Amino acid sequence: MASLDPVLDKDGVRLTVDDAIATVTLTNPAKRNAQSPAMWRTLAEAGRSLPGSVRVVVLRGEGKSFSAGLDRQMFTPEGIEGEKSFVDLARGSDAELDAAIAEFQEGFTWWRQSDIVSIAAVQGHAIGAGFQLALACDLRVVADDVQFAMRETSLGLVPDLTGTHPLVSLVGYARALEICATGRFVLAEEAVNTGLANLAVPAAELDSTVQDLAAALLAAPRDAVIETKALLRGASDRSYEAQRAAERQSQARRLRDLAGLGE
């Protein structure tokens, strides 16, 4: 990876920008990039800190694991220093609890915005919140040692960091339910075969493969990629006829822009 001065570097998150490619790195390999509310707030800040030049965002984790999920200290009575424990959160009003979870989710929501394409480079464990962070991205490239698992249900919780919608969209309701309710591992071959991952490569090739994919994504004109992404993201919510109309409207914008007749 090129050595760049970070735009942001705190709470286990580092953001670097190299022209059109931004890289968000989870930087606490000693704890297998365990996640905390502070990390989630910094992930949200990373999204707000992206310069307008950025077209592709790469998400990666240092060390042998992408992210082993929630820092288990959150489950202890004392929790994490400076943060409310789960017990404290549960004692809040409905509105306070809803607002707290909504804030946690903000670190997971910006990766699918239309003006960027996000790629998660996932190796080793991607458990719970780690699995959901990978799911927050548009694309996933995995190392052949990847181990996805959704462990929230076995802890008496539900996946609440925006992971349920993309999981069902990618693998279907029945498989998503089985993965979440059993908490089992999903390995590289199954991840690719079910559409959970775009491709799997040897761990030593993960970073270079993601860089090649990022370069390929930059080859097409930016506005065409933005329009195409918006079309595809909305397709499942539209009828066939509505999608046809959306295609016509998008293409009209592209043709007028290419002809120099755009607004």
pLDDT digits (tens, 9 = 90+) for 64-79: 999 999 998 887 777 7
**24, 58 Cβ separation under 8 angstroms:** yes
Q: Per residue in 162-208, pLDDT tens?
A: 999 999 999 999 999 999 999 999 999 999 999 999 999 999 999 99
Instruction: Please give the CATH number for the structural domain made up of 8-218.
Output: 3.90.226.10
Say what the pLDDT of residue 263 is: 65
13-18 and 8-10: which strand pairing? antiparallel
In the chain, which stretches have pLDDT less than 50?
A: 1-2
pLDDT on residue 127: 98
pTM equals: 0.95
Return the pLDDT at 1.
46
> Which residues have C-beta within 8 Å of that of residue 188, sequence separation ≥ 6?
142, 143, 144, 145, 146, 197, 200
- Token pair listed for 117: 């394409």
Tokens of 73: 């200290």
**Measured CA angle at 47 (ends 159, 262), to 5 deg:** 115
The rounded distance, in Å, linking the Cα atoms of 66 and 119 is: 13
Q: What is the tally of helices (H) and strands (E) in the chain?
A: 10, 10
Do residues 227 and 257 make contact, with C-beta atoms less than 8 angstroms apart?
no
pLDDT at 75: 78
What is the rounded distance in angstroms from the CA atom of residue 100 to the CA atom of residue 95? 9
What is the predicted pLDDT for the residue at 231? 97
For residue 18, which of 62, 47, 58 has the smallest C-alpha distance? 58
